[in-house]
Amino acid sequence: SGLIGLSVGHGQFAGFADPGIEFLLRAWRWPPPGDVVYLAGIGGLSAITALSLSFAYRSAQASLLAPFEYAILPLVLLWGYLVFSEFPDALAFFGIVLIAVGGLVVWLDGKRQARRQAARAASADQGSRK
């Protein structure tokens, strides 16, 4: 929206019935000074979060950390309801459940593979000692 707003945002195309088009092609204006503080805070927190996640993935196995990313799903539902008074419709809820189940399957399969590899390593270790 920002690039489109800067390139055609002089207001020439204003007046469309579709709110999405109206949002994209509206005249540019700076946010109020109080909002700039909030936007800078959101940007700073987003940068810290991304760096923390990057450091975590660098120092631990991805299969160990991935389940924590799925903890975001219930929080998104909660914040969507509390802040925007929205709750997903049936199709969106189906997608959310599908994502959660997919993550659970991958996580359980990773644990099963880790147990299998540990058993193979233990049997190979015992076989080499004989």
Distance CA 10, CA 102 (A): 45
Q: Residue 123 — pLDDT band, cuts 50, 70, 90?
A: confident
Q: What are phi and psi for residue 11, nearest 5 degrees?
A: 95, 0
Query: What is the distance of C-alpha 38 from the center of its chain?
Result: 20
pTM for this prediction:
0.49
pLDDT over 90, % of the chain: 25
- List, in order, residues 6 or more apart from 1 with CB less than 8 Å away: 23, 24
Q: Residue 110 — pLDDT band, cuts 50, 70, 90?
A: confident
Selection from 33, 29, 38 nearest residue 2 by Cα? 29
Quick: pLDDT tens for 19-62: 777 777 777 778 898 999 999 999 999 999 999 988 988 998 87
Distance CA 100, CA 106 (A): 10
